[in-house]
Amino acid sequence: MIENRDDTINEIDLQKLLMAVLSKIKFVIAITLAFGIIFGLVSKFLIKDVYQTQVSLYVNNNKDAVSQNLDAGDISAATMLVSTYVHLINSNAVLDDVVSRINLGYETEDIAEMINVSAIEDTQMLMLSVSNTDPDHAYIIANAIADTAPTKITEIMDGSTVKVVDYAVKPDAPVYPNTLKNIVLGLFLGAVIGIGVAVISEMLDNSIKSEEDITKLIPDIPVIGVIPEIVIKNTEESRG
């Protein structure tokens, strides 16, 4: 009997929880808007804009490819070498020359953190991206790498070539942060927190508010009577 009573008491009434959320809808809306505004302000004023530009490179394992027809073996070999070229572009041998060329006050380690080199799947192409809070610096660094890497890689790996397909262009808009996206994220997070607080407060509220609450709490004892709520209105008419 006690176990059944406990099960009844602990039963979650979804309709009751929904009503609890609706009763606190102003609080939920306020929290939602607050988080959206906070996330928007942080994105706009506290997070630095990051600009990004890209360079595309073509990889060939045959130094004399200009005067020869490429066969399937050449293409396959070049494709397999792409991952090696990725590591070479990230190497100090290349980046040290870039630091000397641009003369912007960066160290080799700084440049390494700004760049990302990836292979385009099933191709002989490499994509180099450079991210920086200064669009001019991103543009300069990307093109400096594009000018330096092919010569340096050819020196290190005899019999292979790397050619620039597309040089970087100066970015005119930041790629990060995405203020609109962060505002939407803030609104969603605020709504979740607001609803969560409303639901938890309802689940933790053990006070008796109605005859139904008494019946659930003590199902074996009938409710004899309920004292109605008495509201006294102090109006000027009643005083007169």
Q: How do the pLDDT tens digits run along the chain, 240 residues long? A: 444 544 544 455 777 788 888 989 999 999 999 999 999 999 999 999 999 999 999 987 655 544 445 455 555 666 667 878 888 999 999 999 999 999 999 999 999 999 999 988 777 889 999 999 999 999 999 999 999 999 998 888 877 788 999 999 999 999 999 999 999 999 999 999 999 998 888 778 766 666 666 666 666 666 665 666 666 666 555 555
Architecture of domain 51-166: 2-Layer Sandwich (3.30)
Separation CA 49–CA 31 (nearest Å): 27
- Full-model pTM: 0.68
**For residue 101, which amino acid is it?**
R
Order of strands across the sheet with 125-132?
115-119, 125-132, 51-60, 161-166
Tokens of 237: 């008419």
- With CA atoms as reference, report the closest residue to 140 among 110, 191, 102, 100: 102
Q: Where are the domains of the chain?
A: 2-45+178-239, 51-166
Separation CA 205–CA 203 (nearest Å): 6
